[in-house]
Amino acid sequence: MMAGFYTVISANNLVKKVVGLNIFQTSVFMLYISMGKVDGGTAPIVADGVSLYSNPLPHVLILTAIVVGVATTAVGLSLIVRIKQAYGTVEENEFQNKDDAI
Amino acid sequence: MFEQHLAVLPIIIPLIAAPISLILGRSILSWLLATFASAWACYASWQLLAATLSDGVISYAAGGWQPPWGIEMRVDTANAFILLAVSAISTLVLLYSKDSIEKEIKAPQHSLFYTAHLLCLAGLSGILITGDAFNLFVFLEISSLATYTLVSLASDRRCLTAAFRYLVMGTVGATFILIGVGMLYMKTGTLNMLDLAARIDLYDSSRTINTGLAFIMVGVSIKLALFPLHMWLPAAYTHAPSAVTAFLASTATKVAVYVMIRFVFTVFGIEHVFEKMGMNYILMVLAIVAIFKCSYMATVQSNVKTVLAYSSVAQIGYMVLGISLVSATGLMAGLIHIFNHALMKGALFMAVGAVFYRMGSVDIKAFRGLGKQMPWTMAAFAIAGLSIIGVPLTAGFVSKWYLVVGALEQSNWVVAALVLAGSLLAVIYIGRVLEAAYFQKLPDSEDPNKIKEVPLLMLIPMWVLVIANIYFGIDTSLTTEAASHSAEWLFETNQLKEVSP
């Protein structure tokens, strides 16, 4: 989680920032998945002779959150494409004008 | 058929209209559809407010799954009140945007603009209506993603970096909220807000829950641009198209303030957040610093949109200050200010957009002599500006009045004095613009015959908001009734919880 967050803050390259954001989000997804684990439980599928299941709700929630994460990445990357077209660079320190800094 | 599903209509209508608007493709058709959808959503939220005022809380089980297992849509006076403000502003902004975006957004992207606007409206309504903590995160992301797109639609290339910065900050904020909600779920095993509230009381001072509270508060503070976390806001508001800024400034951050109110008062309970965690001191100090620092920043900017953007951060300070007073009056002042600020900032940004429409610039130099050339636009700017300052007979006065009353109730003289001193800074930054408009001459390089009033379709929404500013400044019964009703209700839910263990 911290690795991703650090990358978002420190990276100079915008693509790396988006990658950092992704790592950050994915680690939160892992947090959710891990809390669904029940000791000795199996996959949450109804079957004979199984009474202990993992909690399926966090998995379902994270499916939604993954969709959100993918959408964010897509918007972020497409913004980067347009920034590259407009400025000719995706390195943060290469923007000349102070107004343009990110 | 519609009455039964009234509670979800404000989400469903824009959500369905958004892809249709994209398919239609023609600018004018998309505009008609978007305005119609938004007006319908506004009508539905009006009915919701009337229903909650007479019958109390409306609960709607999405898909027929009963809460707390299914997703509950829960409408009470507090969110119906803000919902009405949001959808009304959205309708007015859409009316206004038809002419405004012609100068600011490239023609092929017009239907995209309407699509993103409708998605944003759907997301904001969803945040307000939902009674489920995770669902709130999803709607927050829907509205935010639409917002990033809206900001990046402007023709100025700086909007791209502003949108990117907003995207990074916004996503970090939303992910923080996600972590916080995860912590709560870990401890309580539920996501329904009322269910959460009941169970959080059982785990009195669990560290997991406190960590969750911290994550949620920081995440929401990024979204609502509370003082040290506001860096994305001025850039995004300055470079976005005017119609987008008018919509975002008056709705998006306000909805985030609502999220904070909802988490503090309904989910965690004031006793936990304020008495045990001492959040009110943190919030109060940050709010006061926000009022002064950002009002000062507003007085030294040359771009009028940046001036208003900084002013927005300062006004958010007033709302958070209302929350941090921990009293029914303070909360009521915060809620009224959410509503009133939407009216005045909407009108101000629309007036600035009108100036851009004629002059092609929003620098303070472009305002010189406009008092004569565009009398209606500048009169609207002046009245809405007076409202920001808090002059009597305008809406801004009412909310500041209650804020000061709330502070005095607790004999908090310092806060009351600071609120009034903050208004003086507003006099300066609004005054600078008015001075340029009314007391300076139009530069010789401009042709006075060319600079005329903007089209009627831009003036009417602007003036509807201005008249609303004056109306709600004189007849305060609707706003105060709804706000005091909801403030009492938010406090009562706490009282009830304390009685039943």
Tens of pLDDT, residues B72-109: 888 888 888 888 889 999 998 888 888 888 777 787 88
Does A45 reside within a domain? no
Q: Which residues on A lie below 8 Å from B136 (Cβ)?
A: none
State which residues form the domain around A11: 2-36+53-95
The ipTM is 0.89
Does A102 reside within a domain? no
Contact A80 B152 (CB under 8 A): no
Query: How many domains are contained in chain A?
Result: 1
Which tens digits make up the pLDDT trace of B243-273?
Answer: 888 898 888 888 998 898 888 888 887 777 7
Does A9 reside within a domain? yes
Q: Which residues on A lie below 8 Å from B149 (Cβ)?
A: 75
pLDDT score at A77: 92
Closest Cβ–Cβ partner in A17, A75, A87 for B148: A75
Q: Which residues on B lie below 8 Å from A35 (Cβ)?
A: 182, 185-186
Chain A interface, best mutation among B168, B181, B216, B306, by max A CB count within 10 A: B168
Both tokens assigned to B123 = 């997301």
Which tens digits make up the pLDDT trace of A53-97?
Answer: 777 888 888 888 999 999 999 999 999 998 888 888 778 777 756
Which pTM value belongs to this model?
A: 0.89
* Run of H or E including B61: strand B58-61
Statement: residue B279 has pLDDT above 90: no
pLDDT score at B119: 92
B6 Cβ neighbours under 8 A, 6+ residues apart: B44, B47, B48, B51, B58
Q: Which residues of A touch B (CB under 8 A)?
A: 5, 8, 14, 17, 21, 24-25, 28, 31-32, 35, 58, 61, 64-65, 68, 71-72, 75-76, 79-80, 82-83, 86-87, 95, 97, 99-102
Does A67 reside within a domain? yes
Q: Nearest CA of chain B to the CA of A40: how many Å?
A: 18
Instruction: Compare all CA atoms of chain A with the CA of B159 and give the residue at the minimum distance.
Output: A100
Does A23 reside within a domain? yes
Does A77 reside within a domain? yes
Q: Which residues on B lie below 8 Å from A8 (Cβ)?
A: 168, 172
Statement: residue B238 has pLDDT above 90: no
Does A57 reside within a domain? yes
Does A58 reside within a domain? yes
pLDDT score at A13: 86
Query: Chain A to chain B, count of Cβ pairs less than 8 Å apart?
Result: 78
Reported as a pLDDT band with limits 50, 70 and 90, residue A100 is low
Say how far apart CA B122 and CA B142 lie, in whole Å: 8
Say how far apart CA B275 and CA B465 lie, in whole Å: 39
Contact B164 A76 (CB under 8 A): yes
- Judge if the upstream peptide bond of residue B443 is cis by omega within 30 degrees of 0: no
Instruction: Compare all CA atoms of chain A with the CA of B146 and give the residue at the minimum distance.
Output: A75
Longest CA–CA span in chain A (Å) reads 68
CA count, 13 A, side-chain hemisphere, B71: 19
Contact A83 B164 (CB under 8 A): yes
Say how far apart CA B365 and CA B180 lie, in whole Å: 46
- Domain of A63: which CATH number? 1.10.287
Q: What is the mean pLDDT of residues B302-318?
A: 89
Say how far apart CA B177 and CA B130 lie, in whole Å: 15
